[in-house]
Amino acid sequence: MTETLVREPLAHPPLGVDVPEIRPTLESAVAKKTRGGLIAGAAVVGAAAGLVAAASTPTAMTAAVIATGAVTALAANWSTCGMSVAGVVAAPKQPGRRGSSTPIRRLGWHTLGSLATGIPTGALFGALGALVTGSVPWAWMLAAWGVIALGYGLHELGMITLPTPMRRQQLPRHLRRTMAPWKVSLLFGALIGPGFMIFIRSSAYYLLVLGVIASGSPVLGAAMFATVSLGRCMPSVLAILHTHRGGSMPGFLSAMCVVDRRVQTFTGGVLIALAAFALAALV
């Protein structure tokens, strides 16, 4: 199915508004029985890793934060917002538009904007954590983080529903018509970098923020948010490669809508595993 979507353009013209409903539902993409098996398997693997590692609570927290940063870098991409960025960065420049940018140049500007705001945001979360978490025992923070990770892992897998606070707004579409493409790419990157300025695609982001705060490390926070900023360039990189090989942007966007639910399922499994790892590390 994905192969067909990648190769064939859509039959309808470009949509005038963002339509999140074009993604398949989680239930239609991944069977509930499969998700249930993933929960059990992920919990066993995570708990075994926590028991075998026998790490101290600060080390276990750092490991959990690094793993969460990695999965957030993957999972935060596949919203309609992320696809909008890919459309700006990778699409050929329309005739009559100002500037002489290329997709590669726009990707560079987009990456720069994302890193410029993402790195300070991560460092700030870590610095705030250093001020407020010094009096809280590591075991308590790790236990609380593990319970929250378990809850949001189940949330990602569609088993329960938890609050997902966010700024429910896509990137400003009108800027694509009023600014040079490289400037739009830079601005979109800057808006995306902090993570909370736009639609939050994956609840792994919440676990990353909580973990960085609990770690109390500005360096770790900066590194993890830089990782997420680089990961969020993934749709644009893939779109550039796809169109360079002769594919269409509508076909690419359609395929990514299919990929989205599988990435969500994988993220839920990782969060379950990390929750089990964190709780087992307390034993």
How high is the pLDDT of residue 14?
43
| Confidence check: pLDDT of 15 > 70 | no
| Confidence check: pLDDT of 200 > 90 | no
Q: pLDDT of 55-113, one tens digit each?
A: 899 999 999 999 999 999 998 876 666 667 777 787 666 666 666 678 889 999 999 99
**Helices 138-156 & 57-75, crossing angle to 10 degrees?**
30
Three-state DSSP class for residue 127: helix
Contacting residues for 251 by C-beta, under 8 A, at least 6 apart: 5, 6, 7, 8, 9, 10, 242
Measured between alpha carbons, how far is residue 103 from residues 55, 106, 212 in Å? 45, 5, 33
Q: Is 162 left (phi over 0), alpha (psi -120 to 50) or beta?
A: beta
Residue 167 lies in a domain: yes
**Mean of pLDDT values over 229-237:** 88
Q: pLDDT of 240-274, one tens digit each?
A: 888 888 777 777 777 777 788 888 999 999 999 99
| Confidence check: pLDDT of 154 > 70 | yes
Nearest C-alpha neighbor of 87 from the set 177, 23, 211: 177
Q: pLDDT of 183-194, one tens digit each?
A: 888 998 998 899
Other C-beta atoms within 10 Å of 181: how many?
A: 24
Contacting residues for 183 by C-beta, under 8 A, at least 6 apart: 99, 109
Residue 84 lies in a domain: yes
Residue 41 lies in a domain: yes
Q: pLDDT of 126-144, one tens digit each?
A: 999 999 887 889 999 999 9
Contact 107, 266 (CB under 8 A): no
How high is the pLDDT of residue 12?
40
Residue 147 lies in a domain: yes
Contact 42, 273 (CB under 8 A): yes
Number of independent structural domains in the chain = 1
Write the DSSP assignment of 86-116 as a string of letters: HHHHHSPPPTT-SS---HHHHHHHHHHHHHH
Residue 219 lies in a domain: yes
Residue 268 lies in a domain: yes
Domain interval for residue 238:
29-92+100-281
Contact 67, 270 (CB under 8 A): yes
Contact 222, 69 (CB under 8 A): no
Residue 19 lies in a domain: no
Contact 103, 43 (CB under 8 A): no
Residue 60 lies in a domain: yes
Contact 215, 221 (CB under 8 A): yes
